[in-house]
């Protein structure tokens, strides 16, 4: 009697396990949703207003500087206060600039591959004479041609509403 119970229990367990495996194999994988804290930059249409001002879906872009030297923040600055008083986060789309006012949104375009990001100025710097802008690591890596690079030439455009 006891032996029959063990056999039935084993059969039930195997059946249950095989049903679970079958159901799991039939379900579709769920993709994680990715959200950005910046403007969607995929399919923006640029309309030239004159030689240095462009309109992008209701926004005006004014060329600030071409062939500017850009770098990115080191991880050690994560969580530190910026000159604007905000805490720095390397995963946000922010930047440091020597002169542009805090809160200014700028479009930074990698001249080597044409990729661009829109970042907000939240800090002062970089404190190297040859560099024009320091990007957060996330913004820099998104437009970098070579992920191992530490600097690149970019075009900086200010965004006006």
Which CATH number is 116's domain given? 2.40.40.10
Q: Which tens digit of pLDDT belongs to each residue from 7-66?
A: 665 655 556 555 555 545 554 443 433 334 444 444 455 555 555 455 566 678 899 999
Q: Of 59, 65, 64, whose CA–CA distance to 45 is shortest?
A: 59
* CA dist., res. 49 & res. 62, Å (int): 10
Residue 74 lies in domain: 46-160
Q: Which tens digit of pLDDT belongs to each residue from 77-123?
A: 999 999 999 999 999 999 999 999 999 999 999 999 999 999 999 99
- Asked, for residue 2, whether it belongs to a domain, the answer is no
- Asked, for residue 14, whether it belongs to a domain, the answer is no
Predicted structure pTM score: 0.66
């Amino acid at each position: 009697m006891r032996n029959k119970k063990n056999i039935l229990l084993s059969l039930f367990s195997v059946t249950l396990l095989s049903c679970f495996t079958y159901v799991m194999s039939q379900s579709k994988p769920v993709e994680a949703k990715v959200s950005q804290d910046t403007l969607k930059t995929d399919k923006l249409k640029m309309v030239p207003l004159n030689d240095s001002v462009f309109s992008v879906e209701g926004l005006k872009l004014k060329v600030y500087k071409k062939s500017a030297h850009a770098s990115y923040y080191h991880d050690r600055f994560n969580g530190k206060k910026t000159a604007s008083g905000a805490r720095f986060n390397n995963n946000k789309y922010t930047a440091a600039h020597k002169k542009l006012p805090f809160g200014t949104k700028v479009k930074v375009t990698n001249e080597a591959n044409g990729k661009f990001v829109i970042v907000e100025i939240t800090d002062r710097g970089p404190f190297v004479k040859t560099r024009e802008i320091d990007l957060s690591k996330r913004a820099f890596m998104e437009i970098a041609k070579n992920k191992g690079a530490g600097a690149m030439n970019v075009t900086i455009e200010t965004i006006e509403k």
